[in-house]
A and B are shown apart, each in its own frame.
Chain A
Amino acid sequence: MTTPDATPTSATGPLLEVTDLSVSFTAHKQTAKVVDQVSFSVQPGKTLGIVGESGSGKTVSSLALVGLLPRTATITGSARFAGQELVGMTTRQQRQIRGNDISVIFQEPMTSLDPVFTVGNQLTGAYRNHQGGSKKDALDRAEEMLRLVGIPEPRKRLAEYPHAFSGGMRQRVMIALALINSPRLLIADEPTTALDVTIQSQILELLQELQQAMGMAILFVTHDLGVVASVCDDVSVMYAGQVVEQAGIDEFFAHPRHPYSEGLLRSMPHSVPKGERLRMIPGTVPLPSRFPTSCRFAGRCPYAQEACTAAPIPLEQLDDGRVVRCVRHRELVMEARS
């Protein structure tokens, strides 16, 4: 499932290196910093999971990389992808990368395909937009992709409209669409959240197969730790716009180092013995306009002390490559299960 050495940096260099990425939105004369100096990296061919609740900034961080945020967003920091700096690119450059070197799949397969065009039309559109070529070549490629994602009778299905496909099938089509130009990085934003559990595992399996086959890296944005456990090599936990922990998958699940991570792990249904109450983290995520300057999790943290609310908490890098934003992480011994 994971490689033994899950340190964030390796000899060949990361495919995507994000450093101090910040995203602010301005509306009605107010500005809110939704993503605050976030850093992470993704190794070629590996999967990084970005985990957090809604409002953590995980989606915004990933969309910021490819220019899919609205005009009201201001992005600062750095995001180096295969030698290119993504932050500050012109829209034309961003368009060249989208769907080509970096692809995105989203959460809502039922509504993410254009209902008035055939699946084949949409696939060939994405293909020819970047590769050019003849219609026939594009159709062949589209058929190949549909077969790759496990859709039976692909040639026939090319002529059908999205409403002829079920939810799980539509997500497969979305994946085909994202991968048709063989991207090196796939950003998957909660791709299985809206699907049935059985379909979920099918899609996850499919993604892993495709990753193996095509050697692409995946940036997997999700709130579901169960999914992270099954497909990710590394995980980065975000809370209220900041990264609070980063680790390889095994270490993370064995010994989380941030109270929030512990809270998340403990709130998974599997971590509770049968018959006992499910655990949850009390309180809610603060709004971007009201982020505390000190530890943003302190209000909900069972281990909070005075030092936590005194000053901003820096991100500490540990010897084994892990990263933690907590002043008490050395003292606390946390477990995923109770």
Chain B
Amino acid sequence: MLTFILRRVLALIPLLFIVSVIVYGLILIVPGDPAITLAGGEEATNERIEEVQKELGLDRPFLVRYGEWVGNAVQLDFGRSLYSDLPITEEIAERFPKTLQIAGGALAFGLLVGIPLGIISGIRPRSVSDRAVVFITSAAIAIPTFWLALILILQLAVYRSILPSRGFVPFSESPAQWFEHLILPWITLGTLTAATIARQLRGALSDTMGSDHIRTSRSVGLPPVKVVGKHALKNSSAPVLTVVGLQIAYLLGGTVVVEQIFGIAGLGSYVLTAINRKDFPAMQGAVMFIALITVVVNLIVDISYALLNPKVRVE
């Protein structure tokens, strides 16, 4: 098992390397002279342009700059923000927990809602409950994330003051308010996840239920709770895990929009603000960090595969 984990981790290094090249290489697509564009375009003062040049080291060859940046990035030092001059890592560290709470909560919501729905429809295909679940999930998948957010805000915050429409309250301050402020973002982001998980689990479960080993479990007289809850579910877990892995990218991307709508100062809005302010290093650092998180989560998913399905460990 340990060798499995080690091998997976080693495989990540070339991947992250390429990602870092892409992220850092984005400077190359800046239209015009990067120093001028990032300094503010035509209205930029010469001093500012020189400042930007120096900060980003634009007078030096690309590979040198890249090497320096990567060298620092590995130690999680992404340099300083062009805008605020604060260490980017600090700014990320301040904002990331909020994004984590949003995305993590959405994922939890997706699992809590999606798994039961998937089970209900998976064990009795083509039944009434199954058709209902398929219909609901189809609808849920089609609704655009941010529209859902807006409608929820409209119904629950504007027309009726059940929930707040903006802001963030730390858990330590008030658990109740923390929850109130996060429940809508969670539902917004988590609905697609729930629908996708329900769909995948449904497919996997109905496959598994027809398998020989489930027949064996039944032939031995195990009660349905055990047959489904223990045997069928564990065998059907792979697609659910796959969805979780795929959804991470979606969730992290989606928080950008959700944070904007709900006015939460997380990592997503940090990326957006960085772009609007042309704060290139901040944008690079944030994107790299997000990519890192995605990769780490996918690693956890891979390890979970191996934990749940012993055959995978042998590969």
Q: Which residues on A are within 8 Å of B, measured CB to CB?
A: 66, 68, 95-100, 103-104, 106, 108, 111-117, 125-126, 129-130, 161, 163, 174, 177-178
Contact = CB atoms under 8 A, between A and B. Distances in A.
Interface of B: 211-213, 215-223, 226, 230-231, 234-235, 308-311, 314
B310 A106 contact: no
Contacts of B219: 66, 68, 98-99, 103-104, 106, 178
B308 A95 contact: no
Given A98-B221, A163-B310, A116 B234 contact: yes
Contacts of B212: 106, 108, 111-112
A121 B208 CA distance: 19
Contact of B217 (A100, A108, A111, A114): A114
Contacts of B222: 95, 99, 125-126, 129
Q: Which 3 A-B pairs rank lowest in CB-CB distance, beginning with the nearest?
A: A99-B220, A98-B221, A99-B221
A116 B235 contact: yes
Contacts of A174: 216
Nearest to A174: B216
A111 B208 CA distance: 12
Given A68-B215, A112-B215, A129-B226, A161 B221 contact: no
A197 B106 CA distance: 56
A114 B215 contact: no
A111 B213 contact: yes
Contacts of B231: 114, 117
A106 B215 contact: yes
B236 to A, nearest CB: 10
A203 B217 CA distance: 22
Given A108-B212, A129-B226, A163-B310, A114 B220 contact: no
Contact of B234 (A111, A113, A117): A117
Contacts of A99: 219-222
B154 to A, nearest CB: 45
A98 B218 contact: yes
Contacts of B314: 163
B226 A116 contact: no
Contacts of A117: 231, 234
Contacts of B234: 114, 116-117
Given A99-B221, A114-B231, A129-B226, A106 B216 contact: yes
A168 B211 CA distance: 20
30 contacts: A95-B221, A96-B221, A97-B221, A98-B219, A99-B219, A99-B222, A103-B220, A104-B219, A106-B212, A106-B216, A112-B213, A113-B216, A114-B213, A114-B217, A114-B235, A115-B235, A115-B310, A115-B311, A116-B234, A116-B235, A116-B309, A125-B222, A126-B221, A130-B221, A161-B310, A161-B311, A163-B311, A163-B314, A174-B216, A178-B219
Nearest to A95: B221
Interface centre among B213, B216, B234, B311 (most CB of A within 10 A): B216
Among A97, A113, A114, A115, the one with the most B-chain Cβ atoms within 10 Å of its Cβ is A114
B287 to A, nearest CB: 38
A126 B220 contact: yes
A25 B234 CA distance: 31
A125 B222 CA distance: 8
Given A113-B213, A174-B216, A129 B308 contact: no
A177 B218 CA distance: 12
A114 B226 CA distance: 13
B215 to A, nearest CB: 7
Contacts of A114: 213, 216-217, 231, 234-235
A96 B230 CA distance: 19
A97 B222 CA distance: 11
A111 B309 CA distance: 15
A100 B221 CA distance: 8
Contacts of A177: 216, 220
Nearest to B309: A116
Contacts of B308: 116
A28 to B, nearest CB: 12
A174 B219 CA distance: 11
A115 to B, nearest CB: 6
Contacts of A98: 218-221
